A and B are shown apart, each in its own frame.
Chain A
């Protein structure tokens, strides 16, 4: 399987270092997880050839493809920007046709077949003749991914695709990304962990321009095995856990269910199965590169 090698990338804006010696191997459906300002968009823009790094290289060895030759990369690229929107008075098919021509898909018939099949796959066939201004937020985002799929690109870059969508749309969108992710590299950035749980095989967690952890979803989830506990606390008693160790507090009938980190076992607490979210919180809170 092909992978994009990101090696020692640094990028600064003035004195602000947005990416700090970032190295990654991106393959399959790849999730980039990090809080606001982590540098996800900056990295995505470099990957999308919108900017060039101060130092470091990006390449695909198998294809002998280097990001120093952006025009070759662009031929294999589909990009969905963080804030995707498009001319409101155009119809969905007009938008698709516009990008299809721009991406060099020749022949009217070839184009319309490609457009139809993509719209079908993103479930927008019925909206084909609707104007952009009449689309819902989810539909607009699906149009964005449809546009990125034109020309059957090998690499798809999707920046914060679920921001602003309701739960139902978010789930649907993630399922769509999962489907698209077969046979190509797709990079998804987000700060919502759930988005990645069902879509991504490989995940990198970043913060303040640095990669804290990378690995498969399961491997990351298991990282905090034995470190996550739950305990019941009655309503009227204080919670005996330090603020920064608390993962979540759930209100049940007559008590709180508190989930928290702890290096050692604690009375009345039971170890539980860990998930990706636990690991994400654990390492971003502590800026950990090792557990």
Chain B
């Protein structure tokens, strides 16, 4: 040990006496400071440090090469070899020095990072823990691997040729390797990349940093591979180890590699942002749901209770006991919906195994005994799989809201659909009746749900809309009995403004449209999923009397433009909450725009009417076109507010009663405006 430390110390002395080394360190920190002062979120800043990592990789490869070449130049390898184990200590000492040096850079970087954001007023929360792991992975280990590569290059390639090789290695393993490899080799580039996996992507406030096991394993593959090369050098080049030891170590390394590769090959969900040619998470679902989806008769049955044993780790694994009641005539078959990647392993009806029919998101269950009206049956369903990339479920992040059919749902519609202009929208699978839930949970802690925890890992309660689960890189705060959950990389300011605006709109809509139970919930969650459908205003917010969920990503609770907030919140508390369905989703849009514009006008909320262009821009024909143009013109005239208010109110009732064809809207418009 003393001999190793001695080598480390000797190398340290040499480094510390090189002014260029200190210059590099200062440059590194200056660059970090630039990044920090440019980016206000401690999450974003890390995913944007790829250039720093890229530079670090080059520096460390060179460090490795230079240290070995120094020994060559002084012919020290012979001298060390005449001392018992001298060369072995030399090489291992060099490696350890590289590890310590990478660690040193990492710690300096981290401390600088931490202090900077704490001074900026961020609370010390979980992201700063995750940041340690992130920096260990993408700074420390990556730098160490680079250094290791440098050492091996110099051992085998004597002389100057080592330097062009270093440049090639640098181009291949850095996070911006696509710029060297070209976009056609994206997959290769991904595998070689030792830095941030989404260098051109954005930080996801829910998912957090890319520190999944997968990425650690990928780095371990590198380390073990390099160790294999080192062993070859020890055996062949330096004759330090005996043949027997060598064979044993090599065999062990290969077994280790196999195990790691097996781990890498397992199914898992990873946060990947669309990059270059790769398809986005959104597009995966889009391509799936763009194809024809099976249809099922909607049945008048509903769930009385769910008892769920849930384990969320690499995969979601669960056994759900549910009790259903039949509110209609006799049935000999029943169809539930369940997101297609959740594979049903076993299904029991009243304790007896049955063979189900699976068609995409639908599960059709044959009933051996007739199921009469008002009778209940018990289903036990065991399933597992990876969730939709737009609804995370792994050991890093969970977002399984009530409206997603992650639980078998009596609403036999697919999880998503592609609407008339090709936008992917999430279908609402919310419940319609009070339902009892028991949840036994194992997975990332803490778990946020809309039912109370009765003992560690067990949650119990009733909900009329469904069960929502949330976990991830989040923080929690209580304000006046309201549980606020939001990403740990933001400060979460302007809560009160958001709350006041929300309550005002809730009250207004409740009175105006006669929607019941529109109260301000006890849970307000901000869970950015960063999907492009979040750009559509109907997808921004989801509301139940228990939970208000914001899925857009910005750093505060409220948004800069209060007018927009109306447009985002209103769909959530009106037709989405009431689970109203229409044939053409443009009806919703036309209605929302008018309702919100009026609301803003009445409440003196500054609204430039930017959204109103939509009426004339959206492709439409016939009566639809007439309605949309008429609405647009009408809204431009800033009078007759009362008529307009009465009109939208009646329109809502049409939608609620399933009468909102464009023809009916046209008639209604005629009545109020006179087209």
Contact = CB atoms under 8 A, between A and B. Distances in A.
B81 interface: yes
Interface string A50-84: 10000000000000000000010011010101111
Contacts of B25: none
Residue among B7, B14, B82, B83 with the most chain A CB within 10 A?
A: B82
Contacts of B89: 102
Interface in A81-95: 81-87, 89-90, 94
A65 B7 CA distance: 30
Interface string B603-633: 0000000000000000000000000000000
Contact of B75 (A49, A81, A98, A99): A81
B14 A87 contact: yes
A81 B3 contact: no
A74 B10 contact: no
A196 interface: no
A82 B76 CA distance: 11
Interface in B1-20: 2-3, 6-7, 10, 13-14, 17-18
Given A90-B10, A90-B13, A101-B6, A85 B75 contact: yes
B14 A81 contact: no
B86 interface: yes
Given A98-B6, A98-B10, A102-B89, A86 B74 contact: yes
A276 B585 CA distance: 110
A157 B83 CA distance: 13
Contacts of A103: 83
Interface residues on B, range: 20 to 34
Contacts of A86: 74, 76
B70 A87 contact: yes
Contacts of B14: 87, 89-90
B82 A48 contact: yes
Interface in A17-61: 45, 48-50
A75 B3 CA distance: 15
Nearest to A91: B13
B72 to A, nearest CB: 11
A74 B88 CA distance: 14
Nearest to B76: A86
Given A87-B14, A102-B6, A81 B83 contact: no
Interface in B66-100: 70, 73-76, 78-84, 86, 89
Contact of B3 (A48, A101, A147, A157): A101
A94 B79 contact: no
B13 to A, nearest CB: 6
A104 to B, nearest CB: 8
Contacts, number: 62
Given A84-B75, A86-B76, A87-B70, A50 B13 contact: no
A99 B80 CA distance: 9
A87 B83 contact: no
A89 B80 CA distance: 19
Contacts of A84: 74-75, 79
A85 B74 contact: yes
Contacts of B82: 48-50, 74, 77, 79, 157
Contacts of B10: 87, 90, 94, 98
B510 to A, nearest CB: 78
Nearest to B5: A101
A89 B18 contact: yes
A49 B80 CA distance: 11
A50 B78 contact: yes
A263 to B, nearest CB: 44
Nearest to B15: A89
Contact of B78 (A45, A75, A98, A102): A45
Interface string A228-257: 000000000000000000000000000000
A21 to B, nearest CB: 24
A76 to B, nearest CB: 11
Contacts of B6: 97-98, 101-102
Contact of A83 (B3, B75, B83): B75
Contacts of A89: 13-14, 17-18
A83 B74 CA distance: 7
Nearest to A131: B17
Contacts of A75: 84
A89 to B, nearest CB: 4
10 contacts: A45-B78, A48-B78, A81-B78, A81-B79, A87-B70, A89-B17, A94-B13, A98-B10, A101-B6, A103-B83
Given A85-B74, A89-B17, A90-B10, 6 more contacts: A49-B81, A79-B82, A82-B75, A89-B14, A94-B13, A157-B82
